[in-house]
Amino acid sequence: MGGSSECIQGSAHQKMESSYTMHQSHLPRSHVVKKETGALSDGVKDDGAPFLARDWNPWENEQVDYNSDLAKKRQAFKQQLGRIHQPKRYRVQIWGKAAIGIYLWEHILEGPLNPTDKIVQWQEGELQSGKIDFSFYTGPAVVQGHVPLDMNSLVLVLNGREQQKVSYSTRWLEHVQALVQSRTVSHVAVVLLGNEHCNNNFIAPYLKRNGGFVDLLFVVYDSLWVNDKDVFQWPLGVATYRQFPMIRPNAQLITSNRPYLCNFLGTIYKNSSRDILMQVLKQSGLDKECITTAREKWLPQETADSLKRYQTALAQSELTLCPIGINTECYRIYEACSYGSVPVVEDVLTPGSCASGSSSPLRLLKAAGAPFVFISNWKELPAILERERGMSQEQRVDRRRMLLEWYAGFRQKMKERFTEVIEETFFKSG
């Protein structure tokens, strides 16, 4: 094929033939024909500017088509390259059959729930964490055999706190066992609200270490089984079963002038440490500087009014008093953290089969560096409250901010740990 000098010597027909030939040879866009003046009459371009013969390029349309095609190929190549370097993702489904499932989903994983109304039969949501795409189902209408299951990795959230709950949880374990045996499900983890005495023997036969099918167990309270290999300790969290919400900290929560030194709203059992707590407050006259509401009988259901009173007490108090119940770990600890009210925790091991030792009780929170006030006897409280009186507002605000930041960081660490352990155990060969 000749150069541009050959093109400008030929007839119009030859020019068009050269145009076709050069297009077939992928002429670069910079190779533009210069037309001799007079070969074409001058005119006006579409935009009104004068059109000069020397501007004419007989291959312009072909170049546009060629460049458009080239751009499409480049884009397709980039997309293919993106797919090659895209990290592999995994899918895991969570069935929430205990209220702590809401704490896992909304407070730890920070996943959305639809519908948002808590008093419904069915809720679901989806989120991404690490390399995993989680989907979540919860509510009374989530029943065996009627939960969508389009993936082979499953997390089951159960309650093993009392015998009635154990019977219900066992039926779910047997249902999932059947799914594993039919090869519908390949990997299983359980998040368990354990027994407050740490007696969780009902689930032992289902653990893979004992010949069962449960690869991972995340259990609440200081169980002796925890080894950070296939059994991990899990936080109790807030009382989602009593509709305690996810609290988003704001400037007012951090900087407000709180009128009370402390609060305790709860049930008082005779001859318990809670009884001692109330006596200490009254004898020292400190009950006037703290919000206290005592009842003699435990009420499992929260009303809108009682929940509002409780949240107001947390938001208006510098400290939240957390006496032991059946177990040292209680919802109140996490609820106080949500409002930046420092938990004053009775650091006493309760009766049962839970782990003992220098780090127990509350070893999960202690390992995370929880900025709480730990006491061994409520007779220490007057001295603690006396120190509170001497603190400046600036010191209190700094401490409040530190607690809220710690609690957010703690939940984030739990999220990362949960995701990484599942990735490593379920998909290590993937």
pLDDT digits (tens, 9 = 90+) for 223-253: 999 999 999 999 999 999 999 999 999 999 9
Question: What does DSSP say about strands 153-159 and 187-193: parallel, antiparallel, or unpaired?
Answer: parallel
Give phi and psi for 132, each to the nearest 5. -110, 135
Instruction: Give 154's contacts (C-beta < 8 A, 6+ positions apart).
Output: 92, 93, 94, 95, 176, 179, 185, 187, 188, 189
pLDDT digits (tens, 9 = 90+) for 83-120: 555 678 999 999 999 999 999 999 999 999 999 887 89
Residue 24 has pLDDT above 50, yes or no: no
pLDDT digits (tens, 9 = 90+) for 291-319: 998 765 555 566 888 899 999 999 999 99
Q: In 3-state terms, what secondary structure has residue 96?
A: strand
Output 284 or 25, whichever has higher pLDDT: 284
- Name the nearest CA neighbour of 329 among 356, 373, 363, 299: 363
Round to whole Å and give the CA distance between 37 and 225. Answer: 93
Residue 126 has pLDDT above 70, yes or no: yes
User: The whole model's pTM is what?
Assistant: 0.79
Residue 25 has pLDDT above 70, yes or no: no
Percentage above 90 pLDDT, the chain: 68
Domains annotated for the chain, with CATH where assigned, are 4-85 (no CATH), 90-241 (3.40.50), 246-412 (3.40.50.2000)
Average pLDDT in the chain: 85
> b or e along 33-63 (b: 16 or more beta carbons within 10 Å of the residue's beta carbon)?
bebeeeeeeeeeeeeeeeeeeeeeebbeebb
- Name the nearest CA neighbour of 382 among 289, 286, 315: 286
Amino acid code (one letter) for 35: K
